[in-house]
């Protein structure tokens, strides 16, 4: 299916590895000009180079999206670089709560230090809000825009030992629905894609490591049994299982989908 993203300027936060990187590559393949954001300049530059090497158009845009002024500057730089405002925003950058011990579990709510709540909420929720605030005026002016927020199934059903993360992701879904209502009249859509466990190259160890197998990682075996499609595929989802959904929601083919959350977790959550 041709998605018609040719020449559209798409900003992907946290695009330097994992899910965000694959979304950048997919949007570029569909013809979008991609602003690859990441906190780490070398990651953003590597993905931008990868896009250009494949014949696409990209701008590496390192910035800490928890800083509102850095977000504004990045969006302005992208518009002046490409001569057009951001029309597609993918709010992908996010962090899990910190595991204080190597290989340990994430803490329960009562054990989680407040400074760790702040980190999780700042990046997942405020980062998303700052980026929306920065790109929306240009979208309103053009009467065209697509916002896709990457959340987690934890935000839909709640996950033990991920209370603050679940809350932040649920807040993004609610925030997105409100934006969808406010900006439908500008032909701007706002949707969320809820992920289950996604294994990728950026994950160093544990069951989500790309080389993990049910034989060498007992936890992975247990996780596969939770996801209906994983049982058949024999694997967890990967960034490429997410990127096509995002590209579709970013396209005009999805104009009449707004305020929705699409689960991309192989049936882990069915609501
Ligand atoms: N991987 C999973 O299993 C999984 C499951 C559910 C939801 N998600 C969600 O999917 C999204 C992507 O996950 P991932 O596993 O690819 O993440 P990741 O940690 O591998 O990559 C995130 C990228 O964001 C960048 N980043 C971190 N802080 C930033 C900041 N302040 N400003 C800009 N960039 C910043 C990082 O440098 C990194 O390159 C996140 O929102 C995450 O919550 C992931």
Measured distance CA(62)–CA(97) in Å, rounded: 23
More confident residue, 98 or 163: 163
Q: How far is the CA of 252 from the centre of ligand 1 (A)?
A: 26
> Whose alpha carbon is nearest atom 31 of ligand 1?
64
Catalytic residues: 165
- What are the pocket residues of ligand 1 if the criterion is a CB atom closer than 6 Å to any ligand atom? 13-14, 16-20, 37-40, 43, 64-66, 92-94, 123, 150, 152, 195, 197-198, 200, 202, 208
| The two three-digit tokens of residue 159, written as one number | 């996950």
Average pLDDT of the residues in 199-222: 93
Pocket test for ligand 1, best of 41, 94, 230, 245 (most atoms within 8 A of CB): 94
Q: What is the pLDDT of residues 43-81, one digit of tens each?
A: 999 999 999 999 999 999 999 999 999 999 999 999 999
Atom of ligand 1 minimally distant from the CA of 20: 16
The candidate with the shortest Cα–Cα distance to 74, out of 93, 59, 95, 91, is 59
Cα radius of gyration (the chain): 18
Residue 101 has pLDDT above 70, yes or no: no
Residue 14 has pLDDT above 80, yes or no: yes
Atom of ligand 1 minimally distant from the CA of 208: 3
| The two three-digit tokens of residue 202, written as one number | 């950026």
Alpha-carbon dihedral sign for residues 36, 145, 92, 240: negative
Average pLDDT of the residues in 254-266: 98
Q: How far is the CA of 94 from the centre of ligand 1 (A)?
A: 4
CB of 61 within 8 A of CB of 74? yes
Percentage of the chain exceeding pLDDT 70: 99
Percentage of the chain exceeding pLDDT 90: 95
Average pLDDT of the residues in 90-105: 84
Q: Rounded mean pLDDT of the chain?
A: 96
Domains of the chain: 9-198+239-264 (3.40.50.720), 202-236 (no CATH)
Residue 100 has pLDDT above 80, yes or no: no
Measured distance CA(229)–CA(242) in Å, rounded: 14
Atom of ligand 1 minimally distant from the CA of 40: 37
Residue 12 has pLDDT above 90, yes or no: yes
| The two three-digit tokens of residue 141, written as one number | 């002016």
Q: Tokens 């405020």 — which residue?
A: 126
Q: How far is the CA of 185 from the centre of ligand 1 (A)?
A: 31
> pLDDT tier at 103 (50, 70, 90 boundaries)?
low
**Residue 105: its pLDDT value, please?**
85
Average pLDDT of the residues in 84-95: 98
Alpha-carbon dihedral sign for residues 188, 20, 82, 55: negative
Atom of ligand 1 minimally distant from the CA of 94: 41
Q: How many residues does the chain have?
A: 271
Pocket test for ligand 1, best of 17, 19, 62 (most atoms within 8 A of CB): 19
Per DSSP (E only), the strands in the chain are 9-12, 33-38, 57-62, 88-91, 145-152, 188-195, 261-264
Q: pTM for this one?
A: 0.98
* DSSP state string for 173-215: HHHHHHHHHHHGGGTEEEEEEEE--B-BTT--SSTTBTT--TT
> pLDDT tier at 102 (50, 70, 90 boundaries)?
low
């Amino acid at each position: 299916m041709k998605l018609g993203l040719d020449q559209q300027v798409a900003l992907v936060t946290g695009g330097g590895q994992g899910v965000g990187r694959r979304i950048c590559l997919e949007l570029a393949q569909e013809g979008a000009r991609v602003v690859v954001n990441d906190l780490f300049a070398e990651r953003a530059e590597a993905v931008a180079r990868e896009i250009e090497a494949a014949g696409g158009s990209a701008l590496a845009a390192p910035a800490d999206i928890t800083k509102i002024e850095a977000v504004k500057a990045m969006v302005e730089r992208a518009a002046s670089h490409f001569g057009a405002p951001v029309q597609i925003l993918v709010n992908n950058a996010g962090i899990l709560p910190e595991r204080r011990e190597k290989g340990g579990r994430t803490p329960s709510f009562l054990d989680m230090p407040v400074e760790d709540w702040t980190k999780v909420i700042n990046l997942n929720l405020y980062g998303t809000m700052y980026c929306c605030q920065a790109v929306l005026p240009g979208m309103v002016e053009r009467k065209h825009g697509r916002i896709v927020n990457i959340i987690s199934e934890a935000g839909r059903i709640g996950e033990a030992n991920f209370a603050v993360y679940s809350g932040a992701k649920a807040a993004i879904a609610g925030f997105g629905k409100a934006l969808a209502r406010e900006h439908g009249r500008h032909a701007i859509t706002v949707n969320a894609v809820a992920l289950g466990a996604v294994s990728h190259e950026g994950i160093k160890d544990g069951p989500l490591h790309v080389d993990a197998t049910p034989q060498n990682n007992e936890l992975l075996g247990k996780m596969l049994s939770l996801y209906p499609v994983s049982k058949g595929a024999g694997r967890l989802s990967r960034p490429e299982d997410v990127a096509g959904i995002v590209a579709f929601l970013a396209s005009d083919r999805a104009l009449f989908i707004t305020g929705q959350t699409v689960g991309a977790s192989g049936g882990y959550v069915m609501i």
